[in-house]
Chain A
């Protein structure tokens, strides 16, 4: 049961990661368009998402039980992506926040920027946790090979 749930969350997290990145990307496009700034200046926001996506792709090719069957990792990833999507959705659709109306762009860029540091910290934590588990996989895999010999 635990293993099935982990696997479901593992594949669901792919979709959520893309949706979370899409939400943040849309927010940054709206914000930078209003400020008439080049989107390249926001590269530092997109790089962590790119790295996390890369790490997730690498994990696809590593048959590791420490990652795919790790319910805690998958659950935290699921909640984190959910929170990122929630913030992105509120910035776009929560018209009760009056700053939404201030700039007349149909978006609340200040709300996103207020939460951005939290969201990026979540992404960084997920990157480091995933990388550590990948390293663990390789360390223990080597040991297993030696035992078999």
Chain B
């Protein structure tokens, strides 16, 4: 009787171990599969993406124009009013050039971490520095001057663009963060999350292009108001 009871106990223990083995096997395979998916990389060339290409062109053009701003040729009255505008523009340019998106320009193996960092730079610093702080500072400085009205229209359009950029980058950020949510990869999660790397890059590049367009538009406004390249 005791032998039968002993065999029964062993059978029970083996059943429990079998379930443990199945769970372990499931977790092991799912993890290895998930690890491969979250580490997915795709080789891209920035010049294949029109928005990324335009972004670089805008930044280079803005840099060229800013470097040619010569305050010494302005009248003393004008200098007093607009002396710091060049600094605001230069600071915005520096912020853009310090972003990882700008630094990585060329061919690279794009993965989720790269893309997340690009979007994060945009979300946390570029949008604020180039689409809020810079235009707002210029707008404040130009109050009660004859240049205010011409800048006000540009300022309003920048504000509208900033809302769009923030909204899209926030959406992309949340979507990217979900790359580690679904450990059990199904066809649905694969098609909605893992296959969107290049699509998300296109959207992020478009946002960067908006930022560069903002900088360039303010530089061009400055050029029109204060005599262009000197």
Contact = CB atoms under 8 A, between A and B. Distances in A.
B113 A98 contact: yes
Query: Most B CB atoms within 10 A — which of A95, A129, A135?
Result: A129
A37 interface: no
A132 B176 contact: no
Interface stretch (A7-15, A40-48, A53-61, A75-83): A75-83
Given A101-B113, A126-B20, A139-B9, A96 B2 contact: no
Secondary structure dominating the interface of B: helix
Contact of A129 (B5, B13, B116): B13
B27 A136 contact: no
B86 to A, nearest CB: 35
A99 B181 CA distance: 8
B14 A96 contact: no
B27 A98 contact: no
Interface in B3-18: 3, 5-6, 9-10, 12-14, 16-18
A98 B177 contact: yes
A45 to B, nearest CB: 17
A83 B24 CA distance: 6
Nearest to A138: B6
A136 B6 contact: yes
Nearest to B11: A132
A139 B177 contact: no
B69 interface: no
Contacts of A82: 24, 28
B31 interface: yes
Contact of B23 (A108, A122, A132, A143): A122
A114 interface: yes
A128 to B, nearest CB: 5
Interface of B: 2-3, 5-6, 9-10, 12-14, 16-21, 23-25, 27-28, 31, 35, 38-39, 111-113, 116, 120, 176-177, 179-181, 183
Closest 6 CB pairs of A and B: A97-B180, A125-B20, A132-B13, A136-B9, A96-B38, A129-B13
